[in-house]
Amino acid sequence: MVSENNERTTETNAGTGSGRQRAIEAYESARERTIDTLGEAPLLALAGGLAAGALIAALLPATETETRLVSPTARRVKDSARAALDAARETGTQRLDEIGLNREKGEETIRNLLGGLGDAARASANAAAEAVRKQG
């Protein structure tokens, strides 16, 4: 019985040896890519770590003490952020109006751009078709 189990284990290992090797190679490749990425873009890695930490923190329930201590500060930060956003939006809108950029002007510009792109695409297609006809 022991001999039979050893044979099965040997057969199983032989059958999965290539799978095991592929898993090891995949792990090593992923590890090397991660190290390369971290070396090339450490701020990106930092941002990813912060995002992961924020996600974990968001998933954990807040304690009563945290809620009691953080709520006043969180409310002030939220109110300040809202005021800053409103001020930035208002100032930006005023400045864009001063230089003649508004929603209607932007929509008109986009329509003209898309129309021009369509015309350019049609002209290119016609030129390509004409070149093929001349070749044939």
What is the residue type of 111? R
Residue with tokens 């016609």: 126
* Distance of alpha carbon 72 from alpha carbon 58, whole angstroms: 18
Residue with tokens 């939006």: 89
pLDDT tens figures, 62-118: 888 888 888 899 999 999 999 999 999 999 888 888 887 777 887 888 888 889 888
* Distance of alpha carbon 75 from alpha carbon 64, whole angstroms: 16
Domain chopping of the chain, boundaries? 1-60, 102-136
Q: pLDDT category, 17, cuts 50, 70, 90?
A: low
* Distance of alpha carbon 3 from alpha carbon 82, whole angstroms: 74
Phi, psi of 41 (to 5 degrees): -140, 70
